[in-house]
């Protein structure tokens, strides 16, 4: 008789039905006011963005919406085993309110959250309430059949569902309907709650295709990032080993010899001191170059804008640098941006034959845009040994992109975009 093989008999089934009804009931009663509240708050907050208040409040309200949605995601997994994937875009912890507000509003997952609130207040509410109604309503029917009809139908027609109750036989009809409903509840209640969560998943869940594509891109860029950083570490190790380290060894040896010669041959000792000093200067020089290659000091001290200005001052060509950045990006993004510009500039100096270069850095719509333009002969392409492919890979780690426009005869314009927030 029991079709559900998971629960251990009729008792288990009854428990399951009651549990589904209680859970649905609690869900409907507790969640509706919250859903209405957060939705209203969200609408009000977004509406006040033009006058400024919303910019500060919206991130908090949307955070609340997210928490509310997360509770439902958890319940869906615990109660019915329905997994609802979420795909919120990360917001940097130190982003300013402006970036935070619009970053969140642009997030498709946040938009899905808001759409879901509307559905949850209506269809979601009904589907959650249905198991409880289906389970409780039959008991009224039985009560009606047992004699309650005398009170309720006092001289007029009382409708139990679609059954008009006026006397005992019709009351018995209501009782029969109630019995049918109870059987239906017994069969359907747990599945109705499942319907509720499936509905939630349909509206709230992130698109699987979108997620799969994201995973593919992340896997690829992560591999690139690991490869690049491993290669970088190898290069640094080699440079230290052959450079500064070797020089320090030489200095140590010289100092030992000087100690020996100090009394016997002061002239020779003096010569060695000069040599040791030269070695120390050169070791410092090499360390300085190495540091510049790892993380340029100006970048650490001043950020991307001034680092690119300082870089431009080191080039043999006049470079016009135009910077419009209101804050600083995160260190890894700054570093990626810097080395990308550096590589593109080196390319332009080496291959383009240009006599003037323009660099433009600005940040808008959560996007760092860098363009490097030269008046050279053009013909640059990603690949073709230009190093631009490497830049493209590096930027990929940050979801950044690179585009090259370089018709034969010039000019060449390289555009890079990295999504990021400024602090």
Partner 1 sequence: MRVVLAEDLFLLRDGLVRMLEAYGFEIAAAVESGPELARALTELEPDVAVVDVRLPPTHTDEGLQCALRARQDRPGLPVLVLSQHVEQLYARELLADGSGGVGYLLKDRVFDAEQFVDAVRRVAAGGTAMDPQVIQQLLSRQAAGDRPLAQLTPRELEVMELMAQGRSNAAIAGQLVVTERAIAKHTSNIFAKLGLEVSDDDNRRVLAVLAYLDRER
Binding segment for partner 1 among 137-145, 250-258, 296-304, 409-417 (CB under 8 A)? Answer: 296-304
Instruction: Give the helix/strand (H/E) hosting 320.
Output: strand 319-324
Instruction: Out of 117, 181, 192, 298, point to the residue binding partner 1 (CB under 8 A).
Output: 298
Half-sphere exposure of residue 184, counting CA atoms within 13 Å on the CB side? Answer: 15
How many residues belong to the chain? Answer: 423
Spatial separation of the C-alpha atoms in residues 61 and 44, rounded to whole Å: 10
The yes or no reply on residue 223 touching partner 1 (CB under 8 A) is: no
247, burial (CB in 10 Å: exposed 0-12, middle 13-18, buried 19+): buried
329, burial (CB in 10 Å: exposed 0-12, middle 13-18, buried 19+): buried
Q: Which two tokens stand for residue 256?
A: 């030992």
3-class DSSP state for residue 313? helix
Q: Which is nearer to partner 1, 80 or 329 (CB)?
A: 329
Min dist. Cβ of residue 374 to partner 1 (A): 16
Considering only residues 174 to 203 of the shown chain, the ones binding partner 1 according to CB under 8 A are none
Instruction: Give the helix/strand (H/E) hosting 70.
Output: helix 53-80
Q: Which two tokens stand for residue 316?
A: 């043999």
Q: Which is nearer to partner 1, 187 or 309 (CB)?
A: 309
Instruction: Out of 291, 331, 381, 384, point to the residue binding partner 1 (CB under 8 A).
Output: 291
Cα(first)–Cα(last) distance of the chain, in Å? 65
Min dist. Cβ of residue 307 to partner 1 (A): 9
The yes or no reply on residue 393 touching partner 1 (CB under 8 A) is: no
Instruction: Give the helix/strand (H/E) hosting 160.
Output: strand 158-160
The count of residues interacting with partner 1 (CB under 8 A) is 20
Handedness of CA 202, 77, 61, 362 (dihedral sign): negative
Min dist. Cβ of residue 309 to partner 1 (A): 6
Min dist. Cβ of residue 345 to partner 1 (A): 14
Binding segment for partner 1 among 174-182, 239-247, 252-260, 298-306 (CB under 8 A)? Answer: 298-306
Q: Which two tokens stand for residue 378?
A: 């053009």
32, burial (CB in 10 Å: exposed 0-12, middle 13-18, buried 19+): middle
Considering only residues 230 to 269 of the shown chain, the ones binding partner 1 according to CB under 8 A are none
Instruction: Out of 212, 277, 326, 403, point to the residue binding partner 1 (CB under 8 A).
Output: 277
Considering only residues 302 to 341 of the shown chain, the ones binding partner 1 according to CB under 8 A are 302, 306, 309-310, 313-316, 318
Instruction: Out of 300, 331, 384, 403, point to the residue binding partner 1 (CB under 8 A).
Output: 300
The yes or no reply on residue 271 touching partner 1 (CB under 8 A) is: no
Q: Which is nearer to partner 1, 125 or 339 (CB)?
A: 339
The DSSP bridge pattern shows strands 319-324 and 163-165 to be unpaired
Min dist. Cβ of residue 107 to partner 1 (A): 32
Instruction: Out of 12, 108, 256, 297, point to the residue binding partner 1 (CB under 8 A).
Output: 297
Q: Which is nearer to partner 1, 115 or 270 (CB)?
A: 270
Q: In which region does residue 182 sit, left (phi positive, over 0), alpha (psi from -120 to 50) or beta (all else)?
A: alpha
The 45-74 site mask, x for binding partner 1 (CB under 8 A), equals ------------------------------
The yes or no reply on residue 284 touching partner 1 (CB under 8 A) is: yes
- Binding footprint of partner 1 on the chain (CB under 8 A): 277, 280-281, 284, 288, 291-292, 297-298, 300-302, 306, 309-310, 313-316, 318
């Amino acid at each position: 008789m029991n079709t559900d093989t998971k629960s251990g008999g009729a008792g288990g089934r009854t428990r399951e039905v009651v549990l589904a009804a209680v859970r649905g009931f609690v869900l409907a009663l507790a969640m509706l006011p919250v859903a209405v509240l957060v939705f209203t708050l969200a609408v009000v907050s977004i509406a006040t963005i033009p006058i400024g208040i919303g910019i500060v409040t919206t991130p908090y309200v949307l955070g609340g919406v997210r928490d509310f949605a997360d509770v439902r995601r958890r319940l869906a997994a615990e109660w019915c085993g329905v997994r609802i994937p979420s795909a919120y875009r990360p917001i940097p912890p130190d982003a300013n309110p402006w970036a935070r507000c619009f970053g969140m509003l642009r997030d498709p997952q946040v938009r899905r959250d808001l759409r879901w609130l509307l559905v949850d207040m209506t269809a979601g509410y009904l589907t959650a309430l249905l198991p409880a109604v289906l389970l409780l309503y039959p008991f009224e029917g039985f009560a009606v059949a047992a004699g309650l009809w005398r009170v309720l139908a006092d001289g007029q027609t009382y409708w139990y569902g679609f059954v008009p109750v006026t006397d005992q036989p019709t009351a018995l009809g209501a009782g029969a309907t109630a019995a049918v409903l109870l059987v239906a509840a017994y069969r359907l209640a747990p599945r109705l709650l499942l319907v509720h969560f499936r509905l939630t998943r349909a509206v709230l869940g992130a698109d699987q295709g979108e997620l799969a594509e994201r995973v593919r891109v992340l896997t690829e860029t992560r591999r690139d990032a690991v490869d690049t950083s491993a290669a970088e570490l190898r290069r640094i190790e080699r440079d230290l080993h052959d450079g500064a380290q070797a020089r320090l060894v030489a200095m140590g040896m010289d100092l030992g010899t000087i100690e020996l010669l100090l009394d016997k041959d002061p002239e020779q000792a003096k010569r060695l001191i000069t040599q040791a000093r030269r070695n120390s200067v050169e070791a410092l020089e090499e360390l300085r170059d190495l540091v510049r290659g790892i993380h340029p000091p100006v970048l650490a001290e001043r950020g991307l804008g001034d680092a690119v200005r300082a870089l431009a001052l080191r080039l043999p060509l006049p470079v016009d640098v135009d910077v419009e950045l209101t804050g600083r990006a995160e260190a890894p993004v700054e570093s990626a941006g810097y080395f990308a510009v550096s590589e593109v500039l080196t390319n332009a100096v080496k291959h383009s034959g240009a006599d003037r270069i323009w660099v433009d850095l600005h940040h808008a719509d959560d996007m760092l845009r860098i363009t490097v333009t030269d008046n050279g002969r053009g013909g640059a392409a990603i690949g073709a040994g230009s190093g631009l492919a490497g830049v493209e890979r590096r930027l990929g780690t940050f979801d950044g992109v690179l585009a090259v426009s370089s018709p034969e005869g010039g000019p060449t314009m390289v555009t890079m975009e990295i999504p990021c927030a400024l602090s």
